[in-house]
Copies of this chain bind each other. A is one copy, B any other.
Amino acid sequence: MIPYRGDMDAVRVALVNDYEVVARGVAEMLRNYQNRIHVVELDLNKQVGEHVDIALYDTFATTRGDRSEVRDLVSNPLVDVVAVYSWTLEPVHIESAMSNGAGGYISKGLPAAGLVSALETIRAGGKQLHLEQEDAQTVIVGDWPGREEGLSEREAEILALITQGLSNAEIAERTYLSINSIKTYIRNCYRRIGADSRTNALLWGIEHGFRPDRVRIKHPEPAPRSR
């Protein structure tokens, strides 16, 4: 009845992040596992537009700070399970995501095989948390804006949040880091890209792919005034 048995068993996964290069990087990681993971295209609005077993939500530079993405994904009837994919592994953050309805939490530190295994396990209703790799395999990392320019993923994330217009305090809150860590990243980031001010860094970011592909930038609405 079904032409391909492999496709029938493959986990249907939507990769969700506002930076296409990030989603593409994850897709690239999964390329060698096409018989086990079927990456589903998002619709024109970058939404999950067809049924998927798992929406894999990458937390890189989230454009909303209230974790509402997870709740939105959970409430999408086309999504069976939402799995959060993040470097942040503290229990308080994991709990927060789960309480928002996530059905899985996967560390970005896992190698591709571990990610695949985690997705399959979650789809099958098994263990939800996949935080550590189980053997010493080489971790193949994904992709992010600014990587070609020499930015680490964390540096890139901070710059992306600057490019969204967030203050240092807001970035610290968004990333669960200390303000001091943020300042350190900013310092390093400016040094790398040759910026000497926030506005210049922001403009550099806009020119180098740091603008989210979904335009949900935090900035003020116009204030009309009669003149």
Contacts and interface: CB of A to CB of B under 8 A. Distances in A.
A206 B196 CA distance: 20
Contacts of A165: 197, 199-200, 202-203
Chain A interface size band reads 20 to 34
Interface string A30-50: 000000000000000000000
B208 A193 contact: no
A220 B208 contact: no
Q: How many copies does the complex hold?
A: 2
Nearest to A147: B227
A118 to B, nearest CB: 28
10 contacts: A149-B224, A150-B226, A150-B227, A165-B199, A165-B200, A191-B223, A192-B225, A194-B223, A200-B218, A206-B206
Given A198-B199, A199-B199, 10 more contacts: A149-B222, A165-B197, A165-B200, A191-B223, A192-B225, A194-B223, A196-B220, A199-B202, A200-B218, A200-B220
Contact of A199 (B162, B193, B221, B224): B162
B206 A220 contact: no
Interface in A137-162: 147, 149-150, 162
Contacts of A226: 150
* Among A166, A194, A207, A222: residue with most chain B CB under 10 A: A222
Nearest to A219: B203
Contacts of A167: 197, 199
A204 interface: yes
B162 A223 contact: no
A224 B162 contact: no
* Among A167, A199, A221: residue with most chain B CB under 10 A: A199
A195 interface: yes
Interface string A7-49: 0000000000000000000000000000000000000000000
A196 B221 CA distance: 11
Contacts of A208: 222
